[in-house]
Structure 1
């Protein structure tokens, strides 16, 4: 749901996010962060788009997302109505402190299943041991963090090559200003010329760069933000469909219903009815 996620931790240098429910609202629009992200899909399926490449991950798969890679995540289905996936975020400052040459490096999983299994076991051990809170437990978790880093650096670290095509920092800053404006004003009557003028970019440059880096057009992204906001209103209030469409900024209720059906494979009204049915069972 974020354009540029600021990754922070508490007493440990790694942030763990545990996903245990299958929810369409967990669709994450394209974003980036400086942290190294490692996703372990234990049960369920998900579709990732990473630097323009579409990857379908199933139970048992591990996905590595390098710092500043633009990516999105979409849950596909649960296994027996359950899902369990782990997202580990290693902040850039921590990685740089441990390895000063990290900027010249690139993590890429190998085809060696034995190497990946070692990483998977450590990821799961950390998740399992993180359920217990004690002073001693912190030391165990720290040891597992460094074991994760050992496997990542020993087996999966490569030197960056010319084939690695990440957007530059200035480009990311420009995209940030565009996405910030869209998130703040998505309910308004927006247009490409208006957005381009507000962020002081030409329409041509904005259209071309946004499409190249985000994988969709500016106005397509505007409507996805509107849809995300409409989904939250739909599932958390009793407002009627026409009011939700208007509050989210859609030109008309027809365009809202069309996009909702395209993404969620049903109408807003039927989705709400099904959701209420699940809550009462």
Structure 2
């Protein structure tokens, strides 16, 4: 998932989308947002550098996080052989249909391992999708989870979301889309600012305010995501991957990669093949 504004499409047979993350599926997910309500459940191991609306978390086994609609979030997991996690997405249309007052509610971000009932339902959901995939049972679990979230972990909205206007949402989407399309080129902050008819100073402040990271750091993460896919799915040389993904040299790629994954690209590739 390398989107900034992400469109969530559900499974054809059930009203949610789900992703089960296993090692070596440890791709970094740059900061993005979506209208869907997301549950993140750490099944085994831990997830480091989990950013949600200005706060960084490290999860442990059994932890449950809820990412509210339009909350900016990102994940930068370390290499960990036994990690397994679930991402579960409830689309906004599905929420609106079943919870008419959804626009007036916000959900507790960190549930931890403090809800035995919700954890049990998530475990049953995982068991079912990895087994029989009985859609009727899955639908029952989905509605029960949603009921518990609303009953125990929701409250009337007290604060306005970080991105306060449609105008800001649209501008950020345009900017980040342009960066994703041109990541392999040599791009300076001034080039981006000029493209959007803004001064470099205003452009940098605007981006940092709403994305919580600098323009160049975000561009590095887009490039890193592309490079990760090549690293894990091809036998291309590290130098080739670096240059083709927009890094000025192999050293720069290695520096950025180690900052997120704590290993050199070559070492990470070897470790993942062993696992």
TM value normalised by structure 2:
0.89
Please give the secondary structure, in 1, of the residue aligned with 2:239. Answer: helix
Distance 1:177 1:36 in 2: 23
1:247 lines up with 2:248 in the alignment: no
Distance 1:138 1:23 in 2: 26
Please give the secondary structure, in 1, of the residue aligned with 2:198. Answer: coil
Measured on the aligned residues, the alpha-carbon RMSD in Å equals 2.3
Q: Residues 180-207 of structure 1, C-alpha deviation per residue, up to 9 Å, x if partnerless?
A: 1111101111111211222333322321
Q: Which has the higher contact order (CA 8 A, sep 6+)?
A: 2
Number of aligned positions between the proteins: 271
Residue 34 of structure 2 corresponds to which residue in structure 1?
33
Asked if the contact 1:23/1:75 (under 8 Å) is kept, the reply is no
Q: Residues 109-142 of structure 1, C-alpha deviation per residue, up to 9 Å, x if partnerless?
A: 687966x1111111211222234447xx322222
How far is the alpha carbon of 1:61 from its aligned partner? 0.5
Rg larger in structure: 1
Residue 123 of structure 1 corresponds to which residue in structure 2?
122
Please give the secondary structure, in 1, of the residue aligned with 2:240. Answer: helix
1:166 lines up with 2:162 in the alignment: yes
Distance 1:228 1:155 in 2: 36
The aligned runs of 1:66-215 (5 Å cut-off) are: 66-76=68-78, 78=80, 81-108=81-108, 116-133=115-132, 137-162=134-159, 164-168=160-164, 169-215=166-212
Distance 2:222 2:112 in 1: 39
Q: Residues 21-48 of structure 1, C-alpha deviation per residue, up to 9 Å, x if partnerless?
A: 2443x21111111000011111110131
Distance 2:268 2:130 in 1: 34
Distance 1:231 1:66 in 2: 28
TM value normalised by structure 1:
0.87
1:216 lines up with 2:213 in the alignment: yes
Please give the secondary structure, in 1, of the residue aligned with 2:15. Answer: coil
Distance 1:273 1:43 in 2: 22
Distance 1:165 1:239 in 2: 42
Asked if the contact 1:5/1:31 (under 8 Å) is kept, the reply is yes
Distance 2:270 2:131 in 1: 39
Asked if the contact 2:52/2:73 (under 8 Å) is kept, the reply is yes
